[in-house]
């Protein structure tokens, strides 16, 4: 399947190939080693050197990509985004710039606050959307602290196995 990240106004941002593992309301995928990643905004294409377990919510305002080395998660990258949409093997979401990342066993860090301010002006984000992005970042941090799904060990269990997809 294909994942397409869009910018506000539904402008192409980046996309990649992934394998659907599970769809029970939300969508859980596995990004395979060597998958093609096309960054439309920055004008490049690469083949990703790290497999990942990926989570896309159809109701919550975030996505999760957890890099996997051997059978353990090494890093997390979470986007604040409008809830994803999934149809015809294509999942799309609107990336709202703010990201929450953790490298290794380190601390979680909010990144791209300046990108949110820049793109809000550039693309004309409504003020309530900017506020919503900030509120959703607080909710995501609270979810992680409380170890609520998908930060409850679900992604770790998926990383630790090479299970066949459950669709």
Q: Is residue 75 part of a domain?
A: yes
Query: For the chain, what is the mean pLDDT?
Result: 92
Q: Is residue 164 part of a domain?
A: no
Tokens of 58: 């159809």
- Model pLDDT, residue 70: 84
From CA 129, how far away is CA 135, in angstroms rounded? 10
Q: Which of 47-51, 94-98, 114-118 has the lowest mean pLDDT?
A: 47-51
Give backbone dihedrals phi and psi of 145, rounded to 5 degrees, phi first. -60, -40
- Model pLDDT, residue 163: 55
Instruction: State the pTM of this model.
Output: 0.91
Q: Give residue 125's domain range.
A: 2-153
* Total number of domains constituting the chain: 1
Q: Is residue 163 part of a domain?
A: no
Q: Is the pLDDT of residue 129 over 90?
A: yes
Higher pLDDT, 80 or 33: 80
Q: Is residue 54 part of a domain?
A: yes
Q: Is the pLDDT of residue 148 over 90?
A: yes
Q: Is residue 137 part of a domain?
A: yes
CATH of the domain at 99: 2.40.380.10
Q: Residue 154: left (phi > 0), alpha (psi -120 to 50), or beta?
A: alpha
Q: Is residue 167 part of a domain?
A: no
Contacts of 126 (CB under 8 A, 6+ apart): none
Q: Is residue 32 part of a domain?
A: yes
Q: Is the pLDDT of residue 167 over 70?
A: no
Q: Mean of the pLDDT values across residues 112-141? A: 96
Beta strand segments in the chain, E: 2-7, 11-17, 19-24, 26-31, 36-39, 44-47, 52-56, 62-69, 72-81, 85-87, 90-103, 108-111
Q: Is residue 111 part of a domain?
A: yes
């Amino acid at each position: 399947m294909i994942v397409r990240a869009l910018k506000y106004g539904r402008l192409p941002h980046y996309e990649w190939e992934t394998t659907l593992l599970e769809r029970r309301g939300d969508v859980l995928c596995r990004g395979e080693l060597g998958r093609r990643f096309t960054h439309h905004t920055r004008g490049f294409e690469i083949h990703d050197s790290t497999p990942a377990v990926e989570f896309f919510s159809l109701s919550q305002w975030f996505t999760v990509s957890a890099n996997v080395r051997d059978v353990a998660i090494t890093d997390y990258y979470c986007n604040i985004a409008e809830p994803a949409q999934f149809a015809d093997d294509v999942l799309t979401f609107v990336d709202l710039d703010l990201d929450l990342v953790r490298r290794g066993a380190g601390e979680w860090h909010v990144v791209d606050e300046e990108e949110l301010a820049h793109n809000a002006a550039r693309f004309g984000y409504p003020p309530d959307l900017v506020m919503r992005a900030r509120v959703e970042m607080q909710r995501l941090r609270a979810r992680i602290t409380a170890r609520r799904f998908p930060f409850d060990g679900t992604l770790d269990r998926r990383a630790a196995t090479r299970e066949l997809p459950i669709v």
